[in-house]
Amino acid sequence: MCPFDFGRPKARDRDLRYQEYNSAMEELRNRLGRHPQIDLSVIGRKSGKTITKPVWFVAEDRKLYLLPVYGSDTQWYKNVLKNPQIRIEARGAEATLQAKPIRNADQVKSVIEKFRGKYGAGDVNKYYSKFDVAVEAALGAA
């Protein structure tokens, strides 16, 4: 038997990549806990270019919640509908995630309450004008 195996990755290689992924996600979750804003990158639905915007967020129970400022009229939200892959960055820690639009009124209301709890009802009502949608993304395996 040949001492070099160029076939499937060894189990230990997969385990190492999984450990590196978990470590990176843990660092990201730690940074999310210390910062009020992240950079959100989406792919433009018409241009195909990467568009980055600073956004508020709530990270809770290994989930990231985003609330579009203009609700379903927000451009980055429209881009997420076309391409749900998003990239977030929090002071050097970053990850690519799959965004899931939330349209159910009760679930959207729950996200709004999370934002009001974190940022204050006054600021949420001041900066956000339409509350018809939200976005959720998993922050790693549970």
CATH topology of domain 11-138: Pnp Oxidase; Chain A (2.30.110)
Q: What is the pLDDT of residue 28?
A: 79
pLDDT at 18 over 60: no
More confident call, 18 vs 2: 18
pLDDT at 82 over 90: yes
Q: What is the pLDDT of residue 92?
A: 86
DSSP bridge partners of 90: 93
Integer CA distances (angstroms), 3 to 17, 39, 56, in order: 23, 46, 52
Q: Identify the band that residue 48 occupies on the pLDDT scale cut at 50, 70 and 90.
A: very high
Mean pLDDT across the stretch 122-139? 97
Nearest alpha carbon to residue 139 among 75, 94, 83: 94
Q: Identify the band that residue 91 occupies on the pLDDT scale cut at 50, 70 and 90.
A: confident
Place of tokens 């001041």: 126
pLDDT at 89 over 80: yes
Integer CA distances (angstroms), 36 to 57, 91, 114, in order: 7, 11, 13
pLDDT at 2 over 60: no
Mean pLDDT across the stretch 63-69? 97
pLDDT at 140 over 70: yes
CA 66 to chain centroid, in Å, comes to 7
Q: What is the pLDDT of residue 41?
A: 97
Structural contact between residues 70 and 52, judged by C-beta atoms closer than 8 angstroms: no
Structural contact between residues 139 and 97, judged by C-beta atoms closer than 8 angstroms: yes
Integer CA distances (angstroms), 23 to 39, 54, 86, 100, in order: 20, 24, 20, 24
Least confident of 41-50, 71-80, 86-95, 119-128: 86-95
Other CB atoms within a 10 A radius of the CB of residue 66 amount to 26
Residue 10 DSSP code: P
Q: Domain segments of the chain: what residues?
A: 11-138
Place of tokens 């395996």: 141
